[in-house]
Amino acid sequence: MNSAALIIIAVFTLAAALAAATLRKLMHAALSLVVVFVGIAALFFLLGAEFVGLALVFIYVGAVAVLVVFTILLTPRDVGKDRGFNWGGAIVAVAVFGGLTWSILNTQSLAVVAPHMPALTVKQIGKTLMTIYVWPLQCVGLLLTAALIGALILVMEEKR
Amino acid sequence: MSNSIDQVFVHAKQWLLSSLTGSPGWVVQVASILINIFMLLAVFLTLFALISVLERKILARMQNRYGPNRVGPFGLFQPIADGIKMLIKEDIVPARADKIVHFLAPVHIAAVAILTLGVIPYGRNMTPFTIDGGILFFFAVGSATELAVFMAGWGSNNKFSMLGAMRAIAQMFSYELPLIITALPVVMVVGSLTPDRIVAAQAGYTFDLVPRWFVFTPWGAAAFVLFFVSGLVESNRTPFDVPEGESEIVAGHMTEYSGFKYATFFMAEYIGMFAVSGLATTLFLGGWHAPARILEIIPSYVWFFVKLGSLLFVYIWVRGTLPRTRIDQMMNFAWKFMLPMAFTCVIAAAVWHYAGRGLRGWLWSFLVIAIVYTALSTLLDTRRKFAPRVYRFAE
């Protein structure tokens, strides 16, 4: 059942990714990207990593997607202008794909059978975050707060 | 006896599944999931039909008129008539609309609303989908609503729709923060994100009298009120229905929808309301637990739906009573009052925990809430008096 689900999710995600890359209208491409996020979250669910899947839905579908969509809304549209094939993008994409494939094929861990791991609960993740990784967590929090305040200052009305 | 009535739906499902013994494991699994989904849809779509007519009745009573009373006894068959009307209405799609997005928006919003219903425990052993991080699932899926609203606004290619969508997204984003943060103290105190565990933690009675629901602790009461107000905003209900504002932007993101698509939006709004009320019941009102020991003979799911129903009545009551707020009032309220109060609830819950969860903890956390509340209200008081109204347009 799991392998069938894997194939369905993989085909679904890849089709959505292809649509996101090729669709003519920018808004449709952005919405296809959201489908890709959901597909990846489903893959994480299939692997038993519930928390990662939920966080992906939460952050990417709930926040990043709306951000992308708003960016499209607020920037001028130039539909109709055909800039031709994007060679630079293609080269970068092929390079990234090649590099990833090469590194995946060269890893040792693929050769061995994965040991049976007990399902990771949200509680364990929380405990780890709050004990071992508490300093990185605090630093990220501080950074995000600074970014938030910075954004607020940028858009604040100037009082005369 | 009471136990068998309590578990009647669980046993019925097991009996249905027992006819499948001998078939491979995945068939049973899929059948079990399908039964859950079917039950969920049957119960909540019926509740939606019922609430839509009850709301009109209650509002009519509040405004001293009759309300629907023509179809069936007391107008109870009104939703059937409405449903048939919605089904056979012409489906109009604007010529310049983005057809695909316009079509997908109601589908998306209804799917998201129904998904959030799945993690709420409706009775003893009656959670449709038990997920380890159920509360997180609720908020994660619920946050996808904003995208659906945007799709509706964008796909319609209409300035009213777009304005409505922008307003809806602005208010949903602002109030999602207090909504999630007020759920945090409960998660902290219970030490689990699983709804079943949260309900189980609220079992029992203090002094054999007061149930151990979180709403009876100072932090729980404050968090419940904040959660309820945020829930009102999230479901775009009346004091906060700026996105729909019939008098200014027609119906917001739903302007260009007609017939069954409009009905789907309407349904999604109500089901979102049920989901938020259900979560409030689970988090603060003790889920399916009875309010007194003697009343435990009444099945657990009855208690859940009684609590859900009372919350829904408050929703309707508020709609019949309060006028619409302005968008700037709402935003100020969210960021200057709701958010600090939500954080105070988290701190008060921690104080309650470390002062021993007893009477002492109760008093200390009450003190924390009271101090912050008083400080915030004096700080935010603008001392603005009502001035005589000046009409500029007729000069």
ipTM: 0.77
Å from A104 to nearest chain B CA?
Answer: 31
Domain ranges, residue B332: 82-379
- Residue A109 covered by a domain: no
- Residue A105 covered by a domain: no
Burial of B298 (0-12, 13-18, 19+ CB in 10 A): middle
- Residue B391 covered by a domain: no
The CATH number that applies at residue A48 is 1.20.120.1200
Q: What percent of chain A has pLDDT over 70?
A: 85
- Residue A147 covered by a domain: yes
Q: What is the band of A144 on the pLDDT scale with cuts at 50, 70, 90?
A: very high
Phi, psi of B236, rounded to the nearest 5 degrees: 55, 45
Domain tally, chain B:
1
Is there a contact between B144 and A61 if contact means CB atoms under 8 Å apart? yes
Given A76, A104, A129, the domain boundary residue is: A76
Q: What is the band of A79 on the pLDDT scale with cuts at 50, 70, 90?
A: low
Strands (E), chain B: 205-206, 210-211
pLDDT for the residue numbered B216 = 85
Q: Which residue has the tokens 């039950």?
A: B39
pLDDT for the residue numbered B1 = 47
- Residue A96 covered by a domain: no
Is there a contact between B143 and A61 if contact means CB atoms under 8 Å apart? yes
- Residue B374 covered by a domain: yes
Residues of chain B with pLDDT under 70: 1-2, 245-247, 394-395
Burial of B390 (0-12, 13-18, 19+ CB in 10 A): exposed
Which residue from B150, B169, B192 is facing A123, i.e. has the nearest CB?
B192
- Residue A111 covered by a domain: no
- Residue B288 covered by a domain: yes
Given A15, A43, A76, the domain boundary residue is: A76
Domain tally, chain A:
2
Q: Is A26 on the interface with B (CB under 8 A)?
A: no
Residue of chain A nearest B104, judged by CA positions: A31
- Residue A94 covered by a domain: no
pLDDT for the residue numbered B77 = 85
Which stretches of chain A are DSSP H helices?
2-22, 26-46, 50-56, 65-74, 87-106, 122-131, 134-155
- Residue B193 covered by a domain: yes
Size of interface A-B (CB pairs under 8 A): 63
Q: Is A49 helix (H, G, I), strand (E, B) or coil?
A: coil
More confident residue, A63 or B317: B317
pLDDT of A110 > 70? The answer is: no
Domain ranges, residue A144: 120-160
- Residue B230 covered by a domain: yes
- Residue A126 covered by a domain: yes
Which of B30, B143, B335, B339 best tests the A interface by mutation, with the highest count of A CBs <10 A?
B143
- Quote the mean pLDDT of chain A: 83
Q: Is A44 on the interface with B (CB under 8 A)?
A: no
- Residue A38 covered by a domain: yes
**Chain B residues close to A25, C-beta within 8 Å:** 98
**What token pair was written down for A52?**
């990662």
- Quote the mean pLDDT of chain B: 84
Is there a contact between A1 and B29 if contact means CB atoms under 8 Å apart? yes
**What confidence tens digit (pLDDT) does each residue in B184-228 have?**
899 888 888 888 888 888 887 877 778 888 888 888 899 999 999
pLDDT for the residue numbered B325 = 83
pLDDT for the residue numbered A99 = 93
Answer yes or no: do A72 and A129 share one domain. no
**What confidence tens digit (pLDDT) does each residue in B80-114 have?**
888 888 888 888 888 887 888 888 888 988 888 88
**Chain B residues close to A123, C-beta within 8 Å:** 191-193
Å from A91 to nearest chain B CA?
Answer: 32
- Residue B208 covered by a domain: yes
**Chain A residues close to B350, C-beta within 8 Å:** none
